[in-house]
Each structure stands twice: as C-alpha cells, then as structure tokens.
C-alpha cells in the first residue's frame, strides 16, 4: 500500500468524484478507479459505494479514511520533524483565521515573519469561526485565530490581542459628528449586523440587551467586507473592529465613532492540544504575542477566560 494511493482514496471521498480526484493527482479517471479497486482487493473490503453521479464511503471506508488521514499527516510532517532536529525554521505553515482577523489584523505579522524566515511557506485560509476550530482539530491548520475563543475538547487557547469595536456610519450620517455613542443612541437606527451564528454578533447582541436596547437589524451578512460596503452606500450603521476599517476611515468613505462604554473583543490563538509545536509554529506564535504587545498594550491584553462551547 503506497502513500499516493491513500491520498487518492482521501481525495475521492472528500470530493465524492473519481474525475475530480484524478484532476487533483494529475491522473485519468480510469487510473483513479484502478487504484481504488486495487486498494479494495488488497484489504478485502468494499470501501466506496458507486452511484451514477457520485460515490459515498462505506463504514469500512470510513475507518480507512480516518487512518489514512493520520498516516498522511505523519508523512507530511516528516520535513518539519527533520527541521526541528536541526532547529531550522523552515517548511510550511498553515494558518486558519476568521475573515476580519485574517484580512486586517494578520497581514503585518505575515510580512514580518516572511522577512525573518524566508524559508517558510505560509498559507492562510479564511473561514468562519466553526470551520477554524475544525481545521485545527483535524490538523489541517497548524493553528487558528478567532474572536471570543471557546473551550472545546482537544483545543488549547493562547492569548493574542484584543480589538476595539467601533460604530461605523457614512460620513454624512448624524452620528458621524459624535465623540462617543451610547447604546440608547442606536435604538431607532437601521443596523447592519453579522449573521446570528457569528461570535462577534452574539457578543454585540448580549451587550445591547444588557442596556435594554434592541438593535433594528435590517441586513445580515457573514463577512465584514460586505458589512462595510453596505454602510458605505448608506444602508445603515454597524459595529465592527476598528482595525478592519482603518483604510476606509483614512479615505473618508466611512466614519468610525468610539462606543460608550468601550467594547473590545478578545482574539485567541487555537492550537490542537498535545500536538508538538514545530520551530515554525513556535516562532510565529512568539512573533504574534511579542509584537502585538509592543504595538499597543491594549491589543495584547490578557485573554479573558475562554467562553464555554456554544457561548462564543
């Protein structure tokens, strides 16, 4: 049984397609089919149920899939282990981050890390919060970055920094001239919100409920870029991390107004518990935590207790 065959099998299962798996491995659909048949013959088990349009994994195939992923992860990590023996910061690094953090908080750190360690190939995946947790747990990502980190089985959380949340509105909006905005001032405003399952939305809703204010959500979006564009065309106001709107504020397409009381969202680093840290991972996390403290002490504030699962 070859490593390449296990990868092909995983690709077939994940894409539910022999032809797509062939494209991923530079093989014909027929060659992929022969590889799977050979694997089934060797193991004496039916691994896939073939349908007219797609295939699905059998219970025996599911067992092999889990084992194959572990084997492939170990194989892919050999280079990292060799580098660790030599204490060399080189290889690949895969980071998973929610959109607002990955697009707006992370870039300066990426630039500095690539300058310091040009032998590291860094990949960033932009995902929703639940997907970041899943990628860290599966080992697909070396670590993740999320807001309002939650305690989950198999996950370890370390502090990164916190973001100030601000009100954003069009420069011509009456609230744009305010020095600070209290919850009561937003009672009658059209509010553009994040989707209800996003942690930042849940935090904002809880905060305003404490003041007896119900925000008039007229639009809901799953990413911060769409929220900003809607505010720019005067569809309403919103509350977002300050770091995410610096360029729009400088360009005067949006106005950011501090909130009273001040709101901050903690950002945590997610790591798979008991997974050994390679030199690459150690150095990037060190960069995140030390540089953020130098930039702004508030942004490197101690991480509040992680929220129980389902509360983040």
For the stretch 243-298, pLDDT in tens is: 999 999 999 999 999 999 999 999 999 999 988 888 899 999 999 998 765 555 44
Question: Whose CA is closest to 267, among 163, 195, 130?
Answer: 163
- Return the percentage of the chain with pLDDT > 90, whole number: 60
How far apart are the C-alpha atoms of 208 and 197, rounded to whole Å? 17
Question: Whose CA is closest to 199, among 141, 128, 271, 136?
Answer: 128
Tens of pLDDT, residues 190-206: 999 999 999 999 999 99
- Mean pLDDT, the chain, rounded, equals 87
Residue 88's pLDDT band (boundaries 50, 70, 90)? low
How far apart are the C-alpha atoms of 179 and 255, rounded to whole Å? 11
Say if 3-76 and 87-162+266-308 have the same CATH topology.
Answer: no
Class in CATH terms, 87-162+266-308: alpha beta
* Domain 3-76 annotated CATH 2.60.110.10: no
The Cα-based distances of 80 to 86, 87, 168 in angstroms read 10, 10, 44
DSSP 105: I
Question: Whose CA is closest to 159, among 276, 37, 12, 297?
Answer: 297
Model pTM? 0.67
Q: Is the pLDDT of residue 64 over 60?
A: yes
Q: How many CB atoms lie within 10 A of CB 256?
A: 18
> What residue spans define the domains of the chain?
3-76, 87-162+266-308, 164-264
Tens of pLDDT, residues 134-192: 999 988 999 999 999 998 989 999 999 999 999 999 999 999 999 999 999 998 899 99
164-264 topology per CATH? D-Maltodextrin-Binding Protein; domain 2 (3.40.190)
Give the pLDDT score at 99.
Answer: 92
- Contact between 171 and 259 (Cβ < 8 Å): no
How far apart are the C-alpha atoms of 227 and 238, rounded to whole Å? 7
């Amino acid at each position: 049984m070859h490593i390449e065959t296990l990868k092909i099998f995983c690709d077939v299962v994940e894409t539910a397609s022999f032809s797509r798996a062939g494209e991923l491995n530079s093989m014909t659909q027929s060659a992929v089919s022969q590889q799977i048949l050979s694997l089934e013959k060797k193991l004496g088990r039916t691994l896939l149920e073939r349908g007219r349009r797609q295939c699905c994994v059998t219970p025996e195939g599911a067992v092999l899939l889990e084992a194959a992923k572990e084997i492939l992860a170990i194989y892919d990590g050999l280079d990292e282990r060799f580098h660790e023996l030599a204490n060399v910061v080189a290889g690949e690094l895969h980071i998973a981050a929610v959109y607002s953090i990955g697009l707006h908080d992370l870039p300066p750190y990426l630039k500095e890390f690539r300058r310091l360690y040009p032998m590291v190939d860094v990949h960033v995946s932009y995902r929703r919060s639940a997907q970041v947790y899943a990628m860290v747990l599966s080992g697909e990502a070396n670590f993740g970055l999320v807001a309002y980190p939650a305690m989950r089985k198999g996950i370890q959380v370390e502090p990164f920094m916190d973001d100030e949340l601000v009100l954003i509105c069009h420069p011509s909006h009456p609230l744009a001239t305010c020095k600070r905005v209290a919850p009561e001032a937003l009672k009658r405003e059209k509010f553009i919100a994040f989707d209800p399952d996003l942690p930042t939305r849940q935090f904002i809703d809880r905060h305003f409920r404490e003041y007896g204010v119900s925000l008039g959500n007229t639009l809901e979006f799953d990413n911060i870029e769409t929220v900003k564009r809607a505010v720019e065309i005067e569809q309403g106001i919103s509350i977002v991390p300050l770091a995410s709107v610096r360029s729009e504020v400088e360009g005067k397409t949006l106005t950011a107004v501090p909130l009273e009381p001040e709101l901050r969202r903690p950002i945590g680093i997610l790591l798979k518990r008991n997974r050994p840290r390679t030199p690459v991972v150690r150095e990037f996390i060190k960069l995140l935590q030390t540089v953020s403290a130098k930039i702004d002490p508030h942004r490197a504030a101690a991480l509040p207790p992680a929220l129980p699962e389902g509360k983040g």
